[in-house]
Chain A
Amino acid sequence: MSEPLVLELEVKPLDFLAAGETATQFKETLKSLGLPPEICRRAAIVVYEAEMNIVIHGGGGVMRLQVEEDKVTIMAEDEGPGIEDLELAMQEGYSSAPDFIREMGFGAGMGLPNIKRNANELYIDTAPGKGTKLRAVIYLNKGR
Chain B
Amino acid sequence: MAHGVKIVEQSCRGCVNCIKSCPTEAMRVIEGKVRILSEICIACGECLRRCPHRALLLEEDEWDYILSKRPMTLVTDPSFCTQFSWPPIPELMTQALFELNFEPIFDEYEAAYDVTALAVARAIESSSDNLKPLISTYCPAVVRLIQIKFHELIPHLVQVESPLETSIDLWRARSKRRDPVTLVSSCPARIAMVRSPVGRDISSAEFAISTSKLAREVLIGSGDPSKKVSVDHPFRVPRWIAWAKTGGESMHVRSFSSRPIKTLEVDGLRNVINLFQEMELGKLRGIDYVEARVCDLGCIGGIGNAESRFLSRIKIDNMKIDFNFNEENREKLESIYNAKIWSLRERIVPIEQMPLGEDLAKAMERLKQLHAVYADLPHLDCGTCGRPSCRVMAEDIVKGEGSLDDCIFRLKERIADLSKEIYDLSKRLVHTMTPEGKS
Contact = CB atoms under 8 A, between A and B. Distances in A.
Interface of A: 2-3, 5, 20, 23-24, 27, 29, 32-35, 37, 40-41, 44-45, 48, 67, 69, 140
19 contacts: A2-B365, A3-B368, A20-B281, A27-B280, A29-B367, A32-B355, A32-B356, A33-B357, A33-B364, A34-B355, A34-B356, A34-B357, A34-B360, A35-B360, A37-B151, A40-B152, A44-B281, A69-B364, A140-B360
A102 to B, nearest CB: 15
Interface string B358-395: 00110111011000000000000000000000000000
Nearest to A23: B281
B282 A33 contact: no
Contacts of A140: 360
Interface in B273-292: 277-278, 280-282
Nearest to B360: A69
Nearest to A5: B364
A135 to B, nearest CB: 20
Contacts, number: 47
Contacts of B281: 20, 23, 44-45, 48
B129 to A, nearest CB: 16
Interface residues of B, number: 17
Q: Secondary structure at chain B's binding surface: helix, strand, loop or mixed?
A: helix
Most chain B CB atoms below 10 A, which of A33, A41, A69: A33
Contact of B361 (A24, A29, A41, A69): A69
Interface string B259-302: 00000000000000000011011100000000000000000000
A45 B363 contact: no
8 pairs of A and B residues whose beta carbons are closest in the complex: A34-B355, A33-B363, A5-B364, A37-B151, A48-B281, A2-B361, A41-B152, A37-B152
A35 B361 CA distance: 11
Contacts of A29: 367
A69 B360 CA distance: 6
Interface string B225-244: 00000000000000000000
Contacts of A33: 355-357, 360, 363-364, 367
A27 B356 CA distance: 15
B371 to A, nearest CB: 8
B367 A2 contact: no
Contact of A41 (B280, B365, B367): B280
Given A2-B364, A34-B357, A41-B152, 17 more contacts: A3-B368, A20-B278, A20-B281, A23-B281, A24-B277, A32-B363, A32-B367, A33-B355, A33-B357, A34-B355, A34-B356, A37-B151, A41-B280, A44-B281, A45-B281, A45-B282, A69-B361
